[in-house]
Structure 1
Amino acid sequence: MTAATFAAVFVALFVAHQVADHWVQTDHQALHKGDPGRAGRLTCAAHVATYTATALLAVLALPLFLGLPLNPAGVAAGLAVSAVTHYIADRRTPLAALAALVRLDAFYALGKPRPGRDDNPCIGTGAYALDQSLHYLFLFAAALVIAA
């Protein structure tokens, strides 16, 4: 593995993450991927499928445009790390449990609309910040796996 390979793969995964989570993901997926039951699980799986396809396209651009040699098994393993961890975080309950475990449950709830209030929901919540930072951690891990 070279540092340049890792850097290129990480950038590709990071850009793909931003595009897939904010442009490719449908409104329905964004609103219902954390719902309980089969419907929520299927919605989250559909989001992760398009998310992973977006990441694959970004990673495949590296050998195509930059001549960067990548091992197909490493790419598959890295994308699996990304997909599985993305699914777990986006089901919401595991992320909330992890936040509570490390005593960040108040931060997790920051900005969340309050029951019975006319709060204006926004993307700048503690849950969103923790979600994105956990995704970035596993993008880093996936890039290491792919580049190794």
Structure 2
Amino acid sequence: MFAALYVAHSVGDHWVQTSAQSAAKGRPGWVGRLAGARHVATLTATKLVVLLPAAVLLGLHLSVWGLFAGLGVDAVTHWWADRRTTLAWLATRTGKAEFYSLGTGAHPAHPVTGEGKPAAHLGTGAYALDQSFHHLWLLVAALLITLL
């Protein structure tokens, strides 16, 4: 179940999520909350589309309660982290604020071009912490789905 959730998470977070959802989900107020909710709805649907056939193929007998609990916990924690200020707060509280800013102009050692402008790079600390947070909750979801 974890492998299926992991693949579905990657597809839902990167291919299914729209650019508008990605751009707006961290905005303050209802605009950001609703964009995040739309993203989590499509993400959760993607996970169901992957999980159910995987369960059938593997001969797993999953309960509705287990699916509801696992996907519910995953959805709530995903929405929380994707509000961005919440994950930034957690990074600060856990001593990861500098890593969170890695790959951005806010990081003290950000890469620059020969002209001193921010240089292109792959990924950011914020993205790495975001995905790591999601992976932790994917494991919790997989356990709930298979154990309940």
TM above 0.5, yes or no, is: yes
- Residue 62 (str. 1) matches residue 51 (str. 2): no
Q: Distance in 2 between matches of 1:122 and 1:57?
A: 33
The one-letter code of the counterpart of 2:144 is V
SS at match of 1:124: coil
- Residue 110 (str. 1) matches residue 109 (str. 2): no
Identity of aligned residues (%): 54
**Could you tell me which residue of structure 1 aligns to residue 81 of structure 2?**
89
Q: Distance in 1 between matches of 2:29 and 2:76?
A: 18
CA RMSD of aligned residues (A): 1.5
Relative to the length of structure 2, the TM-score reads: 0.87
Contact 1:113 1:121 in 2 (8 A): no
- Deviation (angstroms), 1:123: 5.2
SS at match of 1:61: helix
Q: How big is each residue's C-alpha offset from its partner over 1:50-84, in whole Å with a ceiling of 9 and x where there is no partner?
A: 00001111111123323221111101110001000
**Could you tell me which residue of structure 2 aligns to residue 129 of structure 1?**
128
Relative to the length of structure 1, the TM-score reads: 0.87
SS at match of 1:34: coil
Structure with greater proportional helix content: 1
Aligned in 2, Cα 1:32/1:118: closer, same or farther, shift over 3 Å? Answer: farther
**Could you tell me which residue of structure 2 aligns to residue 44 of structure 1?**
36
Contact 1:21 1:51 in 2 (8 A): yes
The one-letter code of the counterpart of 1:19 is V
